[in-house]
């Protein structure tokens, strides 16, 4: 049985988390790349939104082949971002402002420049020879099996010194660690302890279901229609989606390691974990397994709401499926992050809808049961940037261009000042360009505009905090014969009814008799439209009543 926990330890349940992509947030050194001092400088903006925590994408020492998701030292800051002292100062300021700090842990793989891998590849007999996944070739010299890399091509790379292949789920410069080796687990947990002792409040666990592989190195079977779903883990242009990934990830041994990780975190007060689960149609089952029992992860997120579908049917299906499968776990919902096109661009049907969709999306996200994660710039209603091929930095996009343009379009610098060079992000040319339409949406321009997307975010998150039922209250869907999303949130005597019209047509909703006499509740940006017991909604509209 899990131990009894203090209420303050559960701050993460229903929390709002703001993701910071440091290299694109704020540059203070004039090199065109954001840094930790820049994060510290802009923490006031984040706190003004009313969020509970920040999630910081990787800032560790790295050759940056995959923008920091290829770590060469888990216990140091890359000079590009600053120093450990800069991190400590950022952490202290965040805590002063009442913000928790969650950092990215990328432990399924390292950089090929990590000292561990340098030693591992030097021979078959060194102390770290089996710290990575090595395998002999087939008699004809080909790779040990048919596993593929998400970033294109085979999931194996030949090493001439060892005369063996090593496994890599991502770039060839990101070799996978061998979690079947207890020494690897022990050492990785020590790196987690390093940051816990420094005072971080939690960890976002990158590719958390990728830690273990099948010891027998069995071939993956082909994609099975009706069982697997192409496109959830990789774009359709990538042959990775043509396999059913039964053996290269999501192995049963992972659960035991997550229990070890949780046991470490439970020695500290108020710490949390968020797991990224990319597992196709199995994602919810994996989330249920990884978050049940109170002895593994605190919460997970999947890719379910990170696609192009912004309809009542899709959102209801995702939430109800989660509620059905994950009976005692917790979810973190998001519409955007650093790996997908910005959701305003995914959801709009026409450019003039941008502001309306941006406001409706955060209002909907804030009313779902679960924790929620926002991605920097979405509070401004930023769209996906259209970049030229020569501006791309993402190896994923470069590899699959032009069929897939990669992730740089959502990673462009944060626009702070409308009239400043590079929108106030840097005094030098930024590592990615700042689009002109982003500059027009800069923070200082929206600060002084009543009804702006930025101010709507602040008001909506204040509304979420003002109603405790929205953090953890029960969520029950109501039947509707239109493309409307209708549900109640209920806890401790408070019951709210929400109706969302995600269509481009006017709609009406007649609540069941028991719900007809609700009291209209003002929701930021959306007025009350209840007449004769019927709820009237404009296109891309919502209404809330207290029951």
Task: Sort strands 53-56 and 16-20 into parallel, antiparallel or unpaired.
Answer: parallel
Give dist(CA 533, CA 512) in Å, integer: 10
CB distance 146 to 137 below 8 Å: no
CA gap 79, 222 in Å, rounded = 44
Q: How far is residue 361's CA from residue 267's CA, in Å, rounded to a whole number?
A: 37
- Strands of the sheet containing 332-333, edge to edge, are 299-301, 272-276, 202-205, 100-105, 53-56, 16-20, 371-375, 332-333
Q: Which has the closest alpha carbon to 414: 89, 57, 69?
A: 57
Residue 76 in contact with residue 198, Cβ under 8 Å? Answer: no
- DSSP bridge pairs for 228: 225
402: preceding bond cis by omega (within 30 degrees): yes
**What is the rounded CA–CA span in Å between residue 323 and residue 384?**
31
CA distance 326 to 307: 21
Nearest Cα neighbor of 504 from 336, 347, 307 is 347
CA 109-113-115 angle, to 5 degrees, is 90
Going by their DSSP bridges, the two strands 541-546 and 202-205 should be labelled as: unpaired
The neighbour count for residue 250, using CB atoms within 10 Å, is: 24
Cα 250 from Cα 252, distance rounded (Å)? 7
Catalytic residues: 206, 276
- Is the alpha carbon torsion for 480, 486, 489, 495 positive or negative? negative
Helix (H, G, I), strand (E, B) or coil at 257: helix
Alpha-carbon distance of 180 to 167, in angstroms, equals 14
Please state the length of the chain: 547
Q: Is 481 exposed, middle or buried (0-12, 13-18, 19+ CB in 10 A)?
A: exposed
As a whole number of angstroms, the distance between CA 436 and CA 423 comes to 9
Q: Sign of dihedral through CA atoms 75, 81, 82, 87? A: negative
> What is the spatial distance between Cα 291 and Cα 288, in angstroms, rounded to a whole number?
5
DSSP strand pairing (73-77 vs 60-61): antiparallel
**Pairing between β-strand 541-546 and β-strand 494-501 as defined by DSSP bridges:** antiparallel
Q: HSE (CB half, 13 Å, CA atoms) of 167?
A: 28
Write the DSSP assignment of 324-367 as a string of letters.
HH-SS--BEE-S--TTS--HHHHH-SSGGGHHHHHHHHHHHHHH
């Amino acid at each position: 049985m899990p131990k009894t926990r203090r209420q303050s330890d559960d701050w993460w349940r229903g929390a709002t988390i703001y993701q910071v992509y440091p290299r694109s947030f704020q540059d203070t050194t004039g090199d065109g790349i954001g840094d930790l001092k820049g994060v510290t400088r802009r923490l006031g903006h984040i706190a003004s939104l009313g969020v509970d925590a920040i999630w910081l994408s990787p800032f560790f020492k790295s050759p940056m082949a995959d923008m920091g998701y290829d770590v060469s030292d888990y216990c140091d800051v890359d000079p590009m971002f600053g120093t450990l002292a800069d991190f400590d100062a950022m952490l202290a300021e965040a805590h002063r402002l009442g913000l928790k700090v969650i950092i990215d842990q990328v432990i399924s793989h390292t950089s090929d420049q990590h000292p561990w891998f340098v030693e591992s590849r030097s021979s078959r007999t060194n102390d770290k020879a089996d710290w990575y996944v090595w395998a002999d070739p087939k008699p004809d010299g080909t790779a040990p099996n048919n596993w593929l890399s998400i970033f294109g091509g085979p999931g194996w790379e030949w090493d001439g010194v060892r005369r063996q292949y090593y496994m890599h789920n991502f770039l060839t410069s990101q070799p996978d660690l061998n979690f079947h080796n207890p020494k690897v687990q022990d050492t990785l947990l020590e790196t987690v302890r390093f940051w816990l002792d420094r005072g971080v409040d939690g960890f976002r666990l990158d590719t958390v279901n990728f830690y273990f592989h099948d010891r027998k190195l069995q071939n993956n079977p082909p994609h099975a229609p009706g069982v697997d779903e192409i496109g959830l883990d990789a774009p359709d242009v990538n042959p990775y989606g043509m396999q059913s990934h039964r053996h290269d990830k999501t192995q049963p041994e992972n659960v035991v390691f997550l229990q070890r990780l949780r046991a470490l975190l439970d020695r500290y007060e108020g710490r949390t974990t968020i797991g990224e689960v990319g597992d196709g149609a199995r994602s919810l089952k994996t989330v249920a397994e990884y978050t049940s029992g109170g002895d593994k992860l605190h919460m997970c997120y999947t890719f379910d709401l990170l696609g192009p579908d912004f309809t009542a049917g899709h959102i209801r299906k995702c939430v109800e499926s989660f509620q059905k499968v994950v009976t005692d776990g917790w979810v973190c919902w998001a519409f955007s992050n650093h790996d997908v096109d910005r959701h305003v661009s995914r959801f709009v049907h026409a450019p003039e809808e941008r502001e309306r969709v941006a406001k409706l999306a955060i209002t909907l996200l804030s009313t779902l049961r679960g924790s929620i994660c926002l991605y920097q710039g979405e509070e401004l209603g930023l769209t996906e940037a259209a970049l030229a091929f020569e501006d791309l930095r993402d190896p994923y996009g470069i590899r699959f261009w032009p069929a897939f343009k990669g992730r740089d379009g959502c990673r462009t610098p944060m626009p702070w000042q409308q009239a400043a060079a590079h929108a106030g992000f840097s005094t030098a040319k930024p590592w990615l360009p700042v689009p002109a339409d982003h500059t027009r949406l800069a923070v200082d321009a929206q600060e002084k505009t009543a009804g702006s997307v930025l101010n709507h975010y602040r008001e909506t998150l204040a509304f979420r905090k003002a109603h405790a039922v929205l953090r953890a209250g029960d969520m029950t869907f109501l039947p509707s014969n239109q493309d409307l999303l209708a549900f109640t949130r209920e806890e401790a005597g408070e019951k709210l009814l929400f109706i969302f019209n995600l269509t481009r047509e006017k709609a009406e909703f007649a609540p069941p008799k028991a719900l007809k006499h609700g009291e209209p509740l003002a929701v930021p940006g959306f007025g009350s439209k209840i007449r004769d017991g019927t709820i009237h909604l404009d296109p891309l509209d919502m209404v809330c009543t207290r029951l």
